[in-house]
Amino acid sequence: MSGRVVLITGAAGALGRAVAERFASEGDRLALLDQVPMNLEAAYQGQCDLGNSAETEAHAARIVSQLGRIDILLNIAGGFEMGEPVHATSEKTWRFMFEVNLWTLVRMLEAVVPIMREQGEGRIVNMGARAALRGSALMGAYAASKSAVIRLTESLSDELKESGVQVNCILPSVIDTPRNRSDMPDADFSRWVQPQRIAEVMAFLVSDGGADIHGASIPVESLS
């Protein structure tokens, strides 16, 4: 499996770094994108506003120009914001949740899917959330945006699997990151899923062992 070109969005975050380290350990060539500067070893890295279609497409084209192809796309970029009751949720919150969790993903797919179709193969893993399976109080906008990721994954998988492109998504519970610990200081951190565990699931989905999994939404949560 060594030598694959793996494009990771949201690479500067705690989860993105864990995923980058996992795939680097396989000998893969990493192409890392984030809105903020990174200090990670990679074959390609750049600051990218995933909300900008032209900028996203330009980075994808440069990755192919420099590294020859894109074998794997791991869409980690996203965000969370506890909202108000559904009837009182502001338009700003609705727009933010859908922009950061759905539209950034759509723009990345617009840039990379044509490349993978031309190659005749590719693997894509999107970032959903366990919260997408059932709405919860004060999380309506977030749950709705992540639910859309599940439906998009299923549709995209049906459209692409005959072209040799595999698409799945994962549904983690609360991830043990410094930001989440800061936001929820009274929580039981031992029950949160470790970023390295999510990286392992992603690695399996894009391995030969996961080759026959299409359009799936895989839960990832700690049992401790």
42-73 pLDDT tens trace: 999 999 999 899 999 999 999 999 999 999 99
Report, as an integer, the average pLDDT of 107-120: 98
Predicted confidence (pLDDT) at residue 187 exceeds the cutoff of 90: no
Positions marked active-site? 142
CA 35, 137, 97: angle at the middle one, nearest 5?
20
pLDDT per position as a tens digit, 134-182 = 988 988 999 999 999 999 999 999 999 999 999 999 999 988 887 887 8
What is the spatial distance between Cα 7 and Cα 38, in angstroms, rounded to a whole number?
Answer: 14
Query: Which pLDDT does position 85 carry in this prediction?
Result: 95
Give the pLDDT confidence score for residue 38 in this predicted structure. Answer: 85
